[in-house]
Amino acid sequence: MSNVTEDLLAYLRQLPSYPFDPEVDSAFVKELVDDFPNIDILEETKAFRWYYDNKPAARMKQVRVGLRRWILRARRQS
């Protein structure tokens, strides 16, 4: 597992109200890292968190889908 993957998993684990699941999130983070190699995914996850006032999971039903869309938009803007 890469440092990026480990760092992102550790960050998601402590994100307020995030429904962390080691199996699901390991696969989710690996997919993000593979799909967006030129994006700083940890930084985008932090931006996503604070855009939603530290409560992204309280604001959306599918927080993983929301995060993936956020990162996709970041790729389109770069």
The total domain count for the chain is 1
pLDDT of residue 2: 75
Q: State pTM to two decimals.
A: 0.92
pLDDT at 59: 87
Which residue stretches of the chain have pLDDT < 70?
Answer: 1
Which pLDDT value is given to residue 78?
81
Neighbouring residues of 45: CB distance < 8 A, sequence distance ≥ 6: 8, 11, 12, 67, 71
Domain limits for position 66: 3-77
**What is the chain's alpha carbon radius of gyration, rounded to the nearest angstrom?**
11
